[in-house]
Amino acid sequence: MTQHRVDAVLIDEETLDLHELAFACAVPPTWVVERVEAGLLSCHSSGGEMRCASAHLVRARRMVTTERRFDANQELAALVADLLEEVEQLRRQVQTTAKGARG
């Protein structure tokens, strides 16, 4: 499969359909479906079509990267994505606390 880089702006209310998410991650749609069915990616059905929040694009890309670079299975890739999300959340909390302490 040819690698394509797709840069995107994440908009909270926007959703991507199955093919848009797959294209943005440079994976076949079956990759997305397998991870949704396994509970590793969150998507919902809208009008009979699978839709994913644009924010899940970051998670999906992290999973793809982990699977490819480290030959990881999908569960391990999801765990890595979970941990990275947790680190980001903790960093935001530290920044918020530090700003509150200064001002």
The residue written with tokens 């999801």 in the block is 78
Structure tokens, 84: 């990275």
Report pTM: 0.83
- Would you write out the chain's pLDDT as a tens digit for each of its 103 residues? 455 555 555 556 789 999 999 999 999 999 999 999 999 999 998 888 999 998 899 999 999 999 999 999 999 999 999 999 999 999 999 999 999 888 7
DSSP-derived secondary structure for the chain: -----------TT-EEEHHHHHHHHTS-HHHHHHHHHTTSS--EEETTEEEEETTHHHHHHHHHHHHHHH---HHHHHHHHHHHHHHHHHHHHHHHHHHHHH-
